[in-house]
Amino acid sequence: MKHLKICAVFLICAIMTSCGANEVASSSTATISVPKQEQSEIITDKKLLYKNDDSNLAVKTLYLTVRRGNDGENTNHSWGEINSYSVFDYERMGVDRYKVEAILQEGDENGPLAGGFGYGLTTPNATVQIRGQTSSKYAQKNYKIEIKKDAGSLAGQTTIALNRHMFDSLRLRNKLCFDLMAQIPQMLSLQTQFVHLYVKDETRDEADAFTDYGFYTQVEQPNKTALAAHGMDTNGQLYKINYFEFFRYADVIKLKSEESYDKKAFEELLEIKGNDDHTKLIDMLDDVNNYSMPIEDVCGKYFDMDNMLTWMAFHILMGNIDTQSRNVYIYSPLNSEKWYFWSWDNDGALEQTTRLVRGNSTARGWEYGISNY
């Protein structure tokens, strides 16, 4: 990762230096050579996905009726159990995250709406589990709702990620960042929607009425469905970075054909969301960690530099510090060596500004700015 960071810092400094060249004459000049990116290599997000009218800020109302399922699908649990454990508890117990079955329905403040998704259903069309890492320890949980096969989709999506953002008092940082990214040509964004959630818990002895669970942000889940929606290659490689710093990790990151390949260990670093042929990933990591190769050549070969530098600059400007080793996806089309950064969790953005407004000093000031990378 140090090798990759040096490249990014080097190029940012070069860009900043060149920006001032028209204002201040220098008695000597220094030039750098950055490999030209072929036009055919460049990909762009499908910006038509993002609404630019008032409906982008509208609040969608969702109703969730949760029930016990069966042991075979790991859904024979109570809603209380779902909300009791963090991902770290599951790791200590050595079990998969518990789920419950659910009926997901669209509606308004008066209840499910005729003609809306899931209206009139009496059998489950989805499963629910908690989502997130550190946030899963909080009392108010984030939820991952997976719509069952052949049960349709909600606005074209079959995985519904609902984020509570418990420590974002404004509840809008994540959506704000994705809305800003949607306007930046060099970045890949995701569709977002504010959601008002109601839950009816039928895992209890007596079924409750719907309970108001408050305000969430729905964020499109990067997966093969999202790749198709954004005009990307559904056969390409897509990894969610859980904790990964671009070291080689040779004892874990291997081809799936190798006898010692351990998918569970692999996904502790990188969750596989696309093509599971890891050859291209390994080739890139080999060269990134080869200090005999000029780093500008390595970065020019394997990364879309406009995308990488814009992604880095965006998060520096927004103060979103928790992005050096997680909270991002990396994507590469099937017939390309290039990798692209695709932002994921942005609820840490503007935290420093919020602290300053409230008169609080931060104990982690060293993490802000380019030194974070």
| Separation of first and last alpha carbons in the chain | 9
pLDDT at 347 (0 to 100): 84
Nearest to 270 by CA among 289, 250, 242, 311: 242
**55-83: per-residue pLDDT in tens?**
778 999 999 999 999 999 999 999 999 99
pLDDT at 105 (0 to 100): 99
Per-domain residue ranges of the chain: 2-19+35-43+232-372, 53-221
Task: Report how far residue 352's alpha carbon sits from residue 364's, in angstroms, rounded to the nearest whole number.
Answer: 9
pLDDT at 321 (0 to 100): 84
The pTM of this model reads: 0.84
Task: Report how far residue 1's alpha carbon sits from residue 245's, in angstroms, rounded to the nearest whole number.
Answer: 5
pLDDT at 138 (0 to 100): 79
pLDDT at 187 (0 to 100): 97
Nearest to 373 by CA among 317, 289, 332: 317
In this prediction, the residues of the chain whose per-residue pLDDT falls under 70 are: 1-41, 52-54, 361-373
